[in-house]
A = this chain, B = another copy of it.
Amino acid sequence: MKKFMNGAATLAQECLEGFVAAHGDIVVFGEGRKHVRRRSLNPAKVAVISGGGAGHEPMHTGFVGHGMLDAACTGHVFTSPTPDQILAAIRETDSGAGALLIVKNYDGDVMNFEMAAEMAMAGGAHRIETVIVNDDIAVERSARGTGRRGVAGTLVVEKMIGTAAQAGAALEELKVLGDAVVSATRTMGVALKGTTVPQTTRETFVLGPNEMEVGVGIHGEPGRSRDDMTDASSIAALICGHILDDFGSLDGQSVLLFVNGLGATPLSELYLVFGLARAFFERHGVIIARSLVGTYVTSLDMAGVSITITVLDEHLTALWDAPVQTASLRW
Contact = CB atoms under 8 A, between A and B. Distances in A.
B1 A303 contact: yes
Nearest to A201: B209
B293 A295 contact: no
Given A21-B274, A22-B274, A278-B21, A4 B265 contact: yes
B231 A19 contact: no
A244 to B, nearest CB: 19
A192 interface: yes
A167 interface: no
Contacts of A192: 1-4
Interface in A1-50: 1-7, 11, 14-19, 21-22
Interface stretch (A53-61, A84-92, A105-113, A245-253): A53-61
A15 B266 CA distance: 11
Contact of A271 (B7, B18, B292, B301): B18
A5 B295 contact: no
A292 B328 CA distance: 11
Contacts of A295: 267, 295
A294 to B, nearest CB: 8
Number of copies: 2
Contacts of A328: 267
Given A18-B293, A274-B22, A331-B330, A193 B2 contact: yes
A132 interface: no
A233 B1 contact: no
A225 interface: no
Interface string A98-128: 0000000000000000000000000000000
A199 interface: no
A316 interface: no
B1 A269 contact: no
A268 interface: yes
Interface of A: 1-7, 11, 14-19, 21-22, 54-55, 57-58, 62, 192-193, 209, 212, 229, 231-233, 235, 263-276, 278, 291-293, 295, 298, 300-301, 303, 305, 328, 330-331
Across the A-B interface, the 5 shortest Cβ-Cβ residue pairs: A18-B275, A18-B271, A264-B264, A57-B268, A4-B269
Given A4-B272, A263-B264, 7 more contacts: A2-B212, A4-B232, A4-B235, A6-B233, A14-B272, A15-B271, A18-B278
